[in-house]
Amino acid sequence: MHADVGDQIVVETAALDRRRRLGVITEVIGVGDEEHYRVRWEDGHESLFYPGGDARILQQRS
């Protein structure tokens, strides 16, 4: 998975009582298989995020 600053990240959930998470990538850290992100989530908090199989990238449109 590769993303750029400004792309959105969506984390789906299998739990029926939880909704998916949406955030904006503010920093890309590492390269290749080591790539992870600093994300500002829709609720305003920021965290480091290591994507798993439940995440997908929505690339920023130019």
* Per-residue pLDDT at 62: 62
4-54 pLDDT tens trace: 999 999 998 777 777 889 999 999 999 888 899 999 999 999 999 999 888
The model scores a pTM over 0.85 = no
Domains of the chain with bracketed CATH: 8-58 (2.30.30)
The sign of the dihedral angle between the CA atoms of 24, 27, 31, 36 is negative
pLDDT at 20: 83
Three-state secondary structure string covering the chain: CCCCCCCEEEECCCCCCCCCEEEEEEEEECCHHHCEEEEEECCCCEEEECCCCCEEEECCCC
Per the structure block, which two tokens stand in for 21? 């998470």
